Homo-oligomer: A and B are copies of this chain.
Amino acid sequence: MNLELTDAIAVLERTPGAFRALLGGLSDGWTKSNEGPDTFSAFDNVAHLIHAERTDWIPRARIILAQGANRRFQPFDRLAHVLESQNRTLAKLLDEFARLRADNLATLRGWNLSESQLALEGEHPELGNVTLRQLLAAWVAHDLGHIAQTARVMAKQYREAVGPWRAHLPVLDRA
């Protein structure tokens, strides 16, 4: 699919509700377990998405739209959420993610982006030149990747419990 703003927003606006429906009220056994050292639990996935709402997508879009002399993005810290989310509850994180996402989508809609604006470029510190259109597509795909990761890490908590069914459930052995 080519990125159309309405398609992208349709997914972006559903993500907080999908996380809430999947995780809201679940025990820590489901939400705090991970796939081993230095991997994300379901809780970590939500915390990481919150950090991205604050520091990644919309801030980078602003840099692109400003078209200033320096269009290089700040590096994104993929582990900043660990400290930020200490001593917080999943319920609070789900609320915060929903609020930040709604605010960011209001900003995005308010820009009423034109095709020529979507083609403007910024500089990713690792990936080089990227367009605003690519950034918005990456925002959507990043959401969906973290939904997939969250479901996978939860499934893996039953890797042994399923017994022989492990052979039929590839999600249990996916990296």
Chain A residues with CB under 8 Å of chain B are: 1-3, 7, 10-11, 14-15, 17-18, 20-27, 29-30, 33, 124, 126-131, 133-135, 137-138, 140-142, 144-145, 147-149, 151-152, 154-155, 157-159, 161-165, 167-172, 174
Contacts and interface: CB of A to CB of B under 8 A. Distances in A.
A134 B159 CA distance: 10
Given A14-B22, A14-B26, A162 B137 contact: yes
Contacts of A159: 141
B10 A168 contact: no
- Stoichiometry, as copies per complex, reads 2
In terms of DSSP, what is the predominant structure of the interface of chain A?
helix
Given A14-B26, A21-B14, A130-B165, A1 B158 contact: yes
Nearest to A152: B148
A118 to B, nearest CB: 11
B145 A147 contact: no
Contact of A7 (B27, B133, B138, B170): B27
A23 B172 CA distance: 24
A21 B30 contact: no
A158 B3 contact: yes
